[in-house]
């Protein structure tokens, strides 16, 4: 279906088949194509990956309905203060919060979004990726505040002492 030099992209969709089954997942299509062109184009099968990661070839003739889903992309965080990175907002605390409370809130959020918590559960790939992204944001936010120690955190952030080289590699 695809040669080794052809680039592909993933298109998230919900599919209803002629036997009544409803499938959610993503089609793997040529990078230069779209879902409509792929389903109406040559070939009798389409490559489909469900949320469990199982790849299937679906007969195009058995597809009754296919609805493309728009998945919101998560922007990666940058580390400087002038681009909107606000560790207080990420951790859900105010700038007057003590370091002990910040640390307690960090631990709470770290437990909630830790990727290991969800590995044994079946869930869509994008949900697992979201949890990982949030976990990384929480870690980065806490590390940027922890770099200041228990000093005056507001002064530390305002003086831009939190720089990208203090970011923890995740």
Residue with tokens 């992309």: 73
Measured CA to CA in angstroms, residue 170 lies from 27, 36, 132, 140 at distances of 30, 38, 10, 8
> Tokens 């870690």 map to which residue?
139
CA nearest neighbour of 95 among 103, 85, 87: 87
CATH 1.10.287.110 domain locations along the chain: 81-166
Res. 69: pLDDT tops 70: yes
User: In this predicted model, what pLDDT tens digit does every residue of 114-146 receive, in sequence order?
Assistant: 877 777 777 777 777 888 888 888 998 888 888
CA atoms within 13 A on the CB side of 157: 22
Q: pLDDT: is 38 or 96 the higher one?
A: 38
Q: How far is the C-alpha of 40 from the C-alpha of 42, rounded, in Å?
A: 7
CATH 2.30.30.100 segments of the chain: 8-68
Q: Does domain 81-166 have CATH number 1.10.287.110?
A: yes
Q: Are 141 and 90 in contact (CB under 8 A)?
A: yes
Nearest to 31, CA basis, from 5, 9, 1? 9
Query: What gap in Å lies between CA 90 and CA 128, rounded to an integer?
Result: 19
Fold of 8-68: SH3 type barrels. (2.30.30)
**Which of 83, 76, 77, 86 shows the shortest CA–CA distance to 157?**
86
Higher per-residue confidence, 156 vs 113: 113
Percent residues over pLDDT 90 in the chain: 34
52 pLDDT band, cuts 50/70/90, is confident
What is the model's pLDDT at position 38? 92
pLDDT at residue number 26: 93
Each residue's pLDDT tens digit, 8-46: 998 999 999 999 999 999 999 998 999 999 999 989 999
* pLDDT 10s digits, 144-159: 888 765 455 555 544 4
Q: How far apart are CA 157 and CA 93, in angstroms?
A: 14
């Amino acid at each position: 279906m695809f040669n080794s030099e052809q680039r592909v992209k993933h298109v998230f969709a919900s599919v209803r088949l002629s036997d009544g089954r409803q499938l959610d997942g993503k089609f793997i299509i040529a990078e230069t194509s779209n879902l409509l062109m792929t389903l109406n184009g040559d070939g009798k099968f389409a490559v489909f990956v469900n949320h469990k990661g199982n790849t299937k070839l679906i007969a195009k003739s058995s597809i009754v309905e296919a609805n493309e889903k728009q998945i919101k992309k998560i922007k990666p965080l940058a580390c400087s203060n002038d681009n909107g990175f606000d560790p207080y907002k990420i951790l859900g605390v105010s700038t007057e919060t003590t370091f002990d409370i910040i640390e307690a809130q960090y631990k709470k959020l770290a437990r909630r979004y830790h990727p290991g918590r969800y590995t044994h559960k079946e869930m869509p790939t994008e949900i697992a990726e979201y949890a990982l992204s949030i976990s990384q944001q929480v870690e980065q936010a806490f590390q940027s505040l922890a770099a200041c120690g228990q000093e005056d955190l507001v002064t530390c952030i305002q003086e831009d002492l939190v720089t990208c080289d203090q970011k923890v590699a995740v």
